[in-house]
Structure 1
């Protein structure tokens, strides 16, 4: 058996791809299944893709990406399955998926962990939003042999077009990577958030609560991301994201936060930040939106919040009680072991190719 993974990003660069595709690949190797991973973006373009300017370099990157996709069609006859993570091309119609499914008759496995059929405009992508063809998600679902999704909200959407939908939560490797627990008996308390530029604006939702808290309590607010947020928080410490130090960075957190707006796009999120926190024994405080309410057991592994006052009270409760942080951290780790451990989903992933 041979599998072609058609993915957007260079290897090791994007959380969605790392946790939904790349970390599962050793399970195929173990079974002697051969595969190839084919990114759209090259490493050089990726370094400037979400920066202002660099128009020529970005345009060249788009051209090169489409050329690689066209040449990839010539290799399709040698593969049994074609696994599409999110989309084959970032703009335009789903021509690659259509040719793979309808011309070459390949079995498509379509995977996504966001509500990618919706517009989600940011400052970085608003100029190309009109060309993204979000409605192609429905078509690719219809053409696919199986669809793999990260939560029940996405599953309900995909089942409108395809009955072979597999729920595959974004899981973490508790043996080889997330194998440490936060020591909550520390002198310096920290509240932390990890993410990318696309979700940085959500931190504005808890800015007022953090401003109130830092007037009463001494703590650091650590942000791990690919760029620094624009927040009026005196306690903020920005840490550039690095794959090699990701877990060590998370272990600096005493409390992890995941604010979200109550929108349809946010309901498509898979609570992955909360899962990362809890896997390391860090209690998670999250917005009561979508999969967050399934991942975080309110009052047991952290708190789910709907108002600014709930955010303030939940944060203050954990900031001032190390024993409660340790108790909820241990419960969170147990929750991840039961529901979000990578090894528990090995067979689910492998069964996509059968």
Structure 2
């Protein structure tokens, strides 16, 4: 068997792609399945993509990427399956997926872990957002041999267009996340990790953290690809690096994942919380979408609907290292059972049958 993975980003650069595609590739090798990973963006263009300026380089890189996608069609018949993560091209209609499925008659597997049929414009993608065709998600679902999604909200959407929808949560490889946080530390660290696109969600808990730091001593650590704009005295920013990701996360005693109660947020797959719990770090999250399924409330962490709940839950964990340790142990066992790579490897492999 030979599989073509059509992905947006260079290998190793984006969390969604790393955990929904790249970490499964060794499983294919073990099964004797050949594959090729074909990113849309080349490394040079991706490096400057979310920076101000570099307009000519971005235009040249985008045109080159579209040409590469066209050239890829000339090789497509070599493959038994074509796995598209999110989209083949970031703007315009789904011409590539239509050609692959309808003209070349390929078995298309369509995978997504966000509500990508909804508008979600940030400062970094405002220009490109004008040229996105959000309606293409339903079309690709309909053309696909199978659809793989990260939570029940996404599954309900995809099932409107295709009966062959597989729930495949974003998973954690516990062979890599093989350490447990030691909660006996001198200073408690509340932490968050994510990308520039989700940094604005931290504003939801900014007042809570400001109030907490009037009463308690702790550090608030943000691991991201861009520094946050937060008025929090205890804030420390750590630039994200793949090589140090797990080591950096292990600084946390408590992990947070605030989300707004929106349709877009309901498409999120609670992956930050899963990373925290895998490392024995209790997760405090907004009671929105997949968070309510991923975090056993009161056992491995807390799901919060109000600022008062956020304050109370964070305060309890700040003051009680044994509670943090107990919840961390429950979270680690929960991830192993429900959200680990080992628990879902057969679900992934069955996509190609």
Give deviations 1:319-348, integer Å, cap 9, x for gaps.
Answer: 010000001111111110110010111111
Partners of 2:167 and 2:44 lie apart in 1 by 34
Deviation of 1:80 after TM superposition, in Å, equals 0.8
Partners of 1:250 and 1:149 lie apart in 2 by 26
Structure 1 counterpart SS, 2:215 = coil
Partner of 1:147: 147
Partners of 2:54 and 2:28 lie apart in 1 by 38
Partner of 2:46: 46
Partners of 1:66 and 1:347 lie apart in 2 by 34
Q: Is 2:195 aligned against 1:196?
A: yes
Partners of 2:45 and 2:21 lie apart in 1 by 21
Partner of 2:269: 270
Partner of 2:293: 294
Structure 2 counterpart SS, 1:127 = helix
Q: Is 2:107 aligned against 1:123?
A: no
Deviation of 1:130 after TM superposition, in Å, equals 2.2
Length-normalised TM-score, structure 2: 0.99
Deviation of 1:126 after TM superposition, in Å, equals 1.5
Structure 1 counterpart SS, 2:48 = coil
Instruction: Extract structure 1 runs of 4+ deviating beyond 3 A.
Output: none
Partner of 1:217: 216
Write the mapping of 1:18-97 to structure 2, written as runs, cut at 5 A.
18-97=18-97
Deviation of 1:17 after TM superposition, in Å, equals 0.1
Partners of 2:308 and 2:55 lie apart in 1 by 44
Deviation of 1:297 after TM superposition, in Å, equals 1.1
Partners of 2:128 and 2:9 lie apart in 1 by 18
Partner of 1:132: 132
Partner of 2:164: 164
Length-normalised TM-score, structure 1: 0.99
Structure 2 counterpart SS, 1:210 = helix
Structure 2 counterpart SS, 1:47 = helix
Q: Bigger CA drift: 102-111 or 124-133?
A: 124-133
Partners of 2:223 and 2:57 lie apart in 1 by 27
Structure 1 counterpart SS, 2:303 = strand
Give deviations 1:248-299, integer Å, cap 9, x for gaps.
Answer: 0100000000000000000000000000000000000000000000011111
Q: Is 2:185 aligned against 1:186?
A: yes
Partner of 2:340: 341
Deviation of 1:199 after TM superposition, in Å, equals 0.1
Partners of 2:332 and 2:154 lie apart in 1 by 25
Partner of 2:313: 314
Deviation of 1:52 after TM superposition, in Å, equals 1.2
Partners of 2:346 and 2:138 lie apart in 1 by 27
Give deviations 1:55-90, integer Å, cap 9, x for gaps.
Answer: 111111110110100000000111111000000000
**Residues paired across the two proteins, number:** 353
Q: Bigger CA drift: 99-108 or 122-131?
A: 122-131
Q: Is 2:229 aligned against 1:230?
A: yes
Q: Bigger CA drift: 105-114 or 296-305?
A: 296-305
Partners of 2:160 and 2:25 lie apart in 1 by 29
Partner of 1:244: 243
Q: Bigger CA drift: 150-159 or 126-135?
A: 126-135
Give deviations 1:185-236, integer Å, cap 9, x for gaps.
Answer: 1111100000000000000000000000111111110000001000000100
Partners of 1:280 and 1:169 lie apart in 2 by 18
Partners of 1:241 and 1:126 lie apart in 2 by 23
Partners of 2:289 and 2:189 lie apart in 1 by 26
Partners of 1:52 and 1:200 lie apart in 2 by 18
Partners of 1:251 and 1:126 lie apart in 2 by 34
Partners of 1:219 and 1:269 lie apart in 2 by 28
